Amino acid sequence: MKAVFNGCVLAESDDIVYMDGNPYFPREAMNSEYFRDSRHTTVCGWKGKARYWDLIVGDHVMTNVAWSYETPKPNAESIRYRFAFYSGKDIIVS
């Protein structure tokens, strides 16, 4: 599976875990040159606290486009240190 924005490969891996309909890439698949840490966090009642990244590709900056659960709750352990992308942010995941 590959995540692409504006011709740039943001992530690519055959090791994908699906949860809540979202494909989660392993952290090592992230092309870190396109991401910066965001201060944004959210809490899911059954997955735990999520951290976010902003996307920077050329002049394009999109906030909070990818998220991860660093210390998920037990039922979400399979996505620990994995990340997913928001749909509708012009990132093509296929």
- Give the pLDDT of residue 64: 96
Residue 62 has pLDDT above 80, yes or no: yes
Residue 79 has pLDDT above 80, yes or no: yes
User: What does the alpha-carbon distance between residue 63 and residue 19 come to, in Å, rounded to a whole number?
Assistant: 22
Q: What is the mean pLDDT of the chain?
A: 96
pLDDT tens digit sequence for 45-57: 999 999 999 999 9
- Give the pLDDT of residue 66: 97
Cα Rg, the chain, nearest whole Å: 13
- Give the pLDDT of residue 86: 87
Kindly list the structural domains of the chain, giving each domain's residue range(s) and its CATH number in brackets, ordered by start.
2-93 (2.170.150.40)
- Give the pLDDT of residue 88: 77
Buried b (16+ CB within 10 A) or exposed e, 33-59: ebbeebeeeeeeeebbebbbbbbebee
